[in-house]
A = this chain, B = another copy of it.
Amino acid sequence: MKKEEFKKAFEEKRQMVEDAIEKYLPPSDARPSLIHQAMRYSMKVGGKRLRPILLLASYELLPSSLDPLPACVAIESMHTYSLIHDDLPAMDNSDLRRGKPTCHKQFDEAMALLAGDALLTFSLWFLAESYKDSPKVAANLVRDLGEAGGSFKMIGGQVEDVLGERDGKMTPEKLNFIHENKTAALITAAITMGIRLADSSDDEKFKLAREIGYNVGMAFQVIDDILDATSDTETMGKTVRLDAADGKLTYVNLYGIEKSREIAADFSNKAIEACKKLTGKDESFLKDLILYMQNRIN
């Protein structure tokens, strides 16, 4: 796909996701309106919509007659709830996210807590509700998203992140655990949910979907570390914050920027290989998306 074509396809998907969020979230005047305003505020405050777009890209790999957009809204709701709760005073105590007041700053702590709870509940309920006429698909989607968001995965990664910052004893092994669970698990769910919509009971295909997801997720996190380390530096690769001044262990702190780039590229390549195995085709929007994500740092 040419760069222009890719950008157009990406933008179309992003717009579809925006429209679906607008359509499917509870209306802001539904009683009690304050909670629905808070849910919508945090869902609409921006973001790249990367997880739902990955889901759409995965969905295109296998034929399915089901509408993927409810699943897109569900995974974005799960992601957004985790951001709202992470921003709370008891956690990261962040006042701003994407340049706008965080949910508890815009509303208050009680409403942010409840809006997070409500988006989490909505995410899993909405899958069961939207796909009830294909109950096997519905149950599998809830299993994938619920597992990814649960205490062994996303929340587990967050727990070790909190504890690691607290006791200061971060190790490469812990860093991997955190990245695999806090970040890669939900991105893996984006890919497997796309495949689930094709009602794939083919274990080999599902295994490949997990492989794609894991590698895309890990690449994403390493790339994020690199962008964090270089974002306030004009020439990339010059400021390597090896001192971990903020107490965070990152790939960049552990391996330096050049090696981190190689690690990211390696994850991306593995994801693309698994993509080809799954579809039997060399080209797909997902492949281009993986390359696009990788190129953010090149």
* Total count of chain A residues near the partner, CB < 8 A: 55
Question: Chain A 167-200, CB within 8 Å of chain B: the 1/0 string?
Answer: 0000000000100000000000000000000000
Do A113 and B129 have beta carbons less than 8 Å apart?
no
In the complex the two chains form, is A121's CB within 8 Å of B118's CB?
A: no
Residues of B within 8 A of A142 (CB): 124-125, 127-128, 138-139, 142
Chain B residue with Cβ nearest A30: B152
Q: Which of B32, B91, B120, B146 contacts A160 (CB 8 A)?
A: B32
The one of B109, B120, B151 that contacts A35, using a Cβ cutoff of 8 Å: B151
Q: Are A135 and B136 in contact (CB under 8 A)?
A: yes
B129 touches A36 (CB 8 A): no
**Which of chain B's residues have a CB closer than 8 A to the CB of A140?**
128, 132, 135
Could you tell me if B122 and A151 are in contact, using CB atoms closer than 8 angstroms?
yes
Partner of A159, one of B34, B90, B143, B160: B34
* Docked complex: A71-91 residues within 8 A CB-CB of B: 81, 85, 88, 90-91
A244 in contact (CB, < 8 A): no
Give the residues in chain B near A125, CB-CB below 8 Å: 124, 142-143, 145-147, 149-150
- CB contacts (< 8 Å) of A149 on chain B: these are 121, 125
15 new A-B pairs (CB below 8 Å) besides A124-B125, A124-B146? A35-B159, A85-B117, A90-B110, A90-B113, A91-B113, A111-B162, A114-B162, A118-B150, A120-B120, A120-B121, A121-B124, A121-B149, A121-B155, A127-B142, A132-B139
Residues of A at the B interface (CB closer than 8 Å) are 26, 30-32, 34-36, 39, 81, 85, 88, 90-91, 108-111, 113-114, 116-118, 120-122, 124-129, 131-132, 135-136, 138-140, 142-143, 145-147, 149-152, 155-156, 158-160, 162-163, 177
